[in-house]
Each structure stands twice: as C-alpha cells, then as structure tokens.
C-alpha cells in the first residue's frame, strides 16, 4: 500500500494545493474579516437570498443553506446557470459569486439581477465582475488571490452565511464560525499528511482507488455528497457520481443490480449525527443491498456539535480524500485542463 506522506505528496503537488485544503480553518476566520471589511449594510429583503455561481463558487451557497437548516427564515436558493430563478423578485438579494470574476454565467446573473432591481452583493477576487460592481456601487466581498476556485470554499461559505443574515434570511453565525474553525483545525491535524497512515481520509482514498465512486448524501449531507463528487472529478481527475437518499431508494437502487458486470463501483454514504431516524435506516438498508455488488462501501459520519461544524467536517474529509486519491493515481491535483479547454473554445465562438 503506497504511503501518503509528505515526500509522495510533494512529488506531485506542484502548486501546493494541500496547503490550501489544510488552511480551511484559518480561512473561515479570514473570511469573516473580509465580510466585515466590505462594510455591507443590512438590506432586508423578504424574498430571501439567491446565490448565483458555478462550480466551486456555487457550492458555498448550497452548503450555507445546509448549515443553517431550520434557522433559515426565508428562502435561500442557488442559481447555477445563465439566469435567475423565475420567482426572483426585486425584494430578493442576489449574491453573485465568481472567484475569477469572469465566469460568464455569473456575469449574466449579475446583469439579470440589476435589470430586475434586486439588491446585489458580489464575492470575487477581481475580473470583470469586480469592475462592474465598482461602476454600479454594488458591495464587494474581496477574495484573496492565488487560490484554485474550489479551494476558496470557506470564503464563499462564510460570505453566503453573512449575507443571508444581512438580508434577514438567517441569524448571524459569527460565533459558530469561530468555534467551527477550531474544530476543523483538530480534524486537519488528524486527517492531514502528518497524521496516521490509517487515518480516515487516507484509508478512504486507498479503498476508493481504482474504483468508480458514488457518493450518497441525505438531508444535511446531500450537498456535501455533491462536493465530494466534484472534488474527486477535479482533484483526482476521475469519474465520480453522487446521489441522495431517500430518492435513491425509489429508482437508482434498482440499477445497482448490474454494477458488478460493468466495473469496480464503490459507494460512500455520508450520514449526520442529527439525521432523521428513517434516513439513517435507509442508509443502512441501502448499503446492505449495494455492498455485495460493489468493490467497497462505507458509512461516514459527520463530526461536531453545531450543524456548521458537522458540514465543515465532512467537507474537509472529502477534500483530503480526493486529494489523496490524486496522489495515489499519480496525477497533479491542481490543473483542470478540460475546464480551460471548454472556456477557450466558448470564447472563440463569441
């Protein structure tokens, strides 16, 4: 079994992506400071919050909604595309998130929100989005440069949480964010490269290696499952899929009957300590059905007290597991050549 130590990692991780992943605890605190430095004014919007973004710039909003749970008093929705949800009204806050500031879908949503007369806030490290916001007098939460967009998740998560509070959709969670940072630091030390070789993140990477992973979430963990899937795609450059219980048990479960004849599939079930008892029962029963036809299955649990701590715990675990998968596959986790090729090809068609 290949060792996942500093030497093996440094041979492939040329851009030091690991340090950005392990820096997530500190990034939570820095993100709070950046929101405060933006000096945004509270702007009560009964229509709630729409988070417009793509890829790593979008998932922070979805995870913020999961972390808020029933503390959210108004809708908090995602817009992943060229337009806003049709029910968006002028009484809605639209948070436009693009790390580069040049994501064409997010720029389209920014324009649509302006035409609608909705209150806008921008989260970006620069680019055209920052320039437009300055021209329009729109508040900007500045992101630090030098990150891969997917590694700036903590900044987007905190920004979404704080803007949700400012628009009246949720309470402020600054104190919980500080506590979550300390909790995450302990987990980073446990699961990081200097931790035991049989730590959870390294063990999962070894078990998932050479398989096609399907990540399954339920309730709080549904969007975390999506994050795991995309991190495996981008970091390890491997196909991966995600699903959600209970919906999986009403259709997809039937397809697993043919899994063994098609390839080495694996399934990871993400469970939360506060899951509905029926969701937990479904996870256990679904694993029992899938296990005989899969190369590997496992149920992984959140760790922490608050919903935010628990969300962050599984996000960090997924980020590290996907990173270690890249090392085991012998690939540099940072470059995403296919994404760049698509953007360049689209630019040629303008």
CA distance 4 to 14: 16
Q: Which is nearest to 252 in space by CA: 286, 228, 224?
A: 286
Grouping H, G, I as helix, E, B as strand and the rest as coil, residue 328 is helix
CA distance 98 to 102: 7
Cα separations in angstroms, 92 against 33, 81, 101, 216, 261: 25, 18, 22, 32, 49
Which tokens in the block code for residue 220? 């709080």
Phi, psi (deg, nearest 5) at residue 146: 95, 5
Contact 245, 304 (CB under 8 A): no
State which H helix or E strand residue 243 sits in. Answer: strand 241-245
- Residues for the chain: how many in total? 350
Look up 244 and say whether it is catalytic.
no
Q: Write down the catalytic residue from 105, 234, 244, 309.
A: 234
Q: Write down the catalytic residue from 250, 309, 348, 350.
A: 250
Q: Write down the catalytic residue from 16, 172, 276, 343.
A: 343
Provide the phi-psi class of 219: left if phi over 0, else alpha when psi is between -120 and 50, else beta.
Answer: left
Look up 234 and say whether it is catalytic.
yes
Grouping H, G, I as helix, E, B as strand and the rest as coil, residue 236 is helix
Look up 250 and say whether it is catalytic.
yes
CA distance 206 to 216: 19
CA distance 9 to 7: 5
Q: Which 3-state string (H, E, C) describes 22-73?
A: HCHHHHHHHHHHHHHHCCCCCCCCCCCEEEECCHHHCHHHHHHHHHHHHHCC
State which H helix or E strand residue 28 sits in. Answer: helix 24-37
Contact 27, 154 (CB under 8 A): yes
Contact 239, 212 (CB under 8 A): yes
Peptide bond before residue 246 is cis, with ω within 30 degrees of 0: yes
> How many C-beta atoms lie closer than 10 Å to residue 294's C-beta?
20
Known catalytic residues are 234, 250, 343
């Amino acid at each position: 079994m290949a060792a996942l130590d500093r030497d093996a990692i440094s041979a492939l991780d040329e851009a030091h992506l690991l340090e950005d992943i392990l820096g997530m605890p500190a990034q939570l605190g820095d993100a709070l400071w950046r929101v405060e430095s933006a000096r945004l004014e509270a702007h009560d919007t009964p229509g709630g919050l729409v988070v417009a973004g793509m890829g790593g710039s979008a998932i922070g909003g979805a995870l913020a909604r999961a972390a808020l749970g029933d503390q959210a008093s108004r809708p908090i929705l995602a817009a992943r595309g060229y337009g806003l949800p049709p029910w968006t009204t002028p009484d809605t806050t639209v948070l436009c998130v693009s790390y580069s500031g040049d994501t064409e879908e997010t720029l389209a949503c920014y324009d649509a929100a302006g035409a609608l007369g909705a209150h806008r806030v921008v989260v970006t490290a620069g680019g055209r989005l920052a320039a437009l916001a300055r021209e329009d007098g729109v508040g900007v939460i500045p992101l630090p440069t030098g990150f891969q967009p997917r590694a700036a998740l903590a900044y987007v998560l905190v920004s979404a949480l704080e803007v949700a509070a400012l628009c009246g959709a949720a309470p402020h969670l600054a104190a919980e964010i500080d506590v979550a940072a300390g909790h995450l630091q302990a987990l980073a030390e446990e699961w990081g490269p200097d931790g035991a070789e049989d730590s959870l993140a390294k063990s999962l990477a070894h078990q998932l290696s050479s398989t096609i992973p399907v990540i399954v979430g339920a309730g709080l963990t549904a969007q975390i499952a999506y994050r795991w899937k995309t991190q495996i795609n981008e970091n390890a450059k491997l196909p991966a899929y995600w699903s959600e219980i209970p919906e999986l048990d009403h259709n997809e479960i039937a397809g697993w009957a043919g899994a063994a004849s098609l390839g080495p599939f694996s399934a990871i079930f993400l469970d939360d300590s506060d899951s509905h008892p029926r969701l937990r029962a479904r996870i256990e029963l679904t694993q029992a059905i899938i296990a005989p036809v899969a190369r590997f299955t496992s149920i992984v649990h959140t760790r922490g007290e608050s919903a935010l701590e628990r969300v962050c715990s599984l996000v960090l675990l997924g980020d590290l597991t996907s990173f270690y998968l890249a090392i085991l596959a012998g690939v540099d986790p940072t470059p995403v050549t296919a994404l760049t090729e698509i953007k360049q090809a689209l630019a040629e068609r303008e």
